[in-house]
């Protein structure tokens, strides 16, 4: 009789423990489904005097930016929002670049590229979502915005 009471108590404890673990497992798999952030940061416009980032030089003219954010998840989803990425000149500001690429760097190496994405001329606005092939790990994630004609040669905004 004592052994059966002990057995029932142990089964009850195991069942209670199993029930508390089920929601945690469910939440963890939901997190993997949506992806954890490799990077979530604001963009900074480039200045000609900036240092190269990951071997890429800053653009040859100063850039200004009203607002810009990037988010790259470990499942490859990249979201980019840029408002007012422009060059100040002739008493105003404008953007002469109709297409940009957002390049993901991990550990200083280019690992994924959004491909050409439209940016408004002269407003300097862009908003896009793409899915990239990303490595399993990505140390020191950085995203550089480059004119589509100068990918790997010059960046006009960066996020680290």
Structural domain containing residue 53:
35-159
Q: Are residues 44 and 83 in the same domain?
A: yes
pLDDT at 35: 72
Q: Are residues 6 and 55 in the same domain?
A: no
Domain count, the chain: 2
Q: Are residues 27 and 48 in the same domain?
A: no
pLDDT at 156: 98
pLDDT at 90: 87
Q: Are residues 15 and 56 in the same domain?
A: no
Confidence tier at 21 by pLDDT (50, 70, 90): very low
pLDDT in tens, 35-58: 799 999 999 999 999 999 999 999
pLDDT in tens, 80-138: 999 999 999 988 999 999 999 999 999 999 999 999 999 999 999 999 999 999 998 99
pLDDT in tens, 112-124: 999 999 999 999 9
Give the residue among 70, 136, 64 at the shortest CA–CA distance from 103.
Answer: 70
pLDDT in tens, 27-37: 333 334 567 99
Q: Are residues 128 and 61 in the same domain?
A: yes
pTM over 0.85: no
Provide DSSP, 74-141: TTSEEEEEEE--BEEETTEEE---SEEEEEEEETTEEEEE---EE--TTT--EEEEEE----S--TT-
């Amino acid at each position: 009789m004592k052994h059966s009471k002990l057995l029932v108590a142990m089964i009850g404890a195991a069942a209670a423990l199993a029930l508390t673990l089920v929601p945690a497992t469910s939440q963890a798999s939901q997190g993997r489904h949506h992806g954890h952030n490799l990077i979530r940061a604001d963009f900074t416009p480039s200045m000609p005097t900036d240092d190269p980032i990951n071997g890429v030089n800053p653009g040859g003219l100063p850039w200004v930016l009203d607002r810009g954010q990037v988010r790259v998840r470990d499942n490859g989803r990249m979201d980019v929002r840029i408002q007012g990425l422009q060059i100040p000149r002739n008493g105003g500001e404008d953007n002469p670049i109709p297409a940009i690429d957002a390049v993901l760097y991990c550990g200083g190496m280019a690992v994924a590229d959004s491909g050409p994405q439209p940016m408004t001329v002269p407003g300097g606005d862009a908003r896009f979502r793409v899915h990239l092939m990303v490595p399993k790990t990505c140390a020191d994630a950085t995203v550089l915005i480059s004119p589509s004609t100068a990918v790997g040669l010059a960046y006009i905004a960066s996020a680290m």
